[in-house]
Copies of this chain bind each other. A is one copy, B any other.
Amino acid sequence: MKIKVARKPANTYQHGNLREALVQAGLKLLSEGGVDGLSLRAAAQLAGVSHAAPYRHFKDKDALVAAIAEQGFHLLTASMRAELAALDDPAGAGTTVQLRAIGKGYVRFALQHPAYLLVIFGGVLAQDRTTPELTAAGNEAYETLRGCVAAGLARGDLQGGDADTLSLAAWSMVHGLSHLLINQAVKLPPGLAVDVATDILLRVLDVGMRAR
């Protein structure tokens, strides 16, 4: 992905849209240099501004990280929805097919943007430093899954727990897989492609959520 950071022209004084430029700069640093590469000073430099300028727009580094995580959640939601929309009959598809699409979208996002997943979940952001916007972006992602689970329960396709508990089960499975994959913490069974492994895990999940 090509990330453009709006630089302040050298001859001007105010940037105009420094806040957004810093978020873009942070995303760029993150995707190029990983978590270690993300610093307020480097982001300021990319935006063509002094190292103290960001403090007019973010209380501290965590506030910038929170804004980046918010973007990450939007991308995650978009990835899941894109996979849903690519189904032949998105609205009419069965619970199994929909949940599988959401799971694939989640894993695809994680593999495409590993650094974002770490920012969202990886302890980069100190606990209790969440913002209302970040919470809302997280809820949006969660509701994409939860809506599908709730519909499955209503149809009688799913059983064995309420919508939140079964959503937690599904989220845990795909999140765990994604997280383990991007950390290279698991060696995939030799010769087994990510897609195939993902399919098997989603089947295990689906069967488990259908049983009483």
Contact = CB atoms under 8 A, between A and B. Distances in A.
- Interface class of chain A by DSSP: helix
A207 B158 CA distance: 13
Interface residues of A, number: 49
A122 B126 contact: no
A162 B164 CA distance: 30
A138 B197 contact: no
B177 A35 contact: no
Contact of A126 (B34, B165, B185): B34
A176 interface: yes
B203 A206 contact: no
A133 to B, nearest CB: 16
A200 interface: yes
Interface in A161-204: 161-162, 164-166, 168-169, 171-177, 179-180, 183-189, 192, 197, 200-201, 203-204
A16 interface: no
Nearest to A190: B164
A179 B211 contact: no
12 contacts: A34-B127, A121-B179, A122-B122, A123-B123, A142-B186, A161-B200, A169-B201, A171-B176, A172-B174, A172-B176, A175-B176, A208-B208
Interface of A: 34-36, 118, 120-124, 126-127, 138, 142, 160-162, 164-166, 168-169, 171-177, 179-180, 183-189, 192, 197, 200-201, 203-209, 211
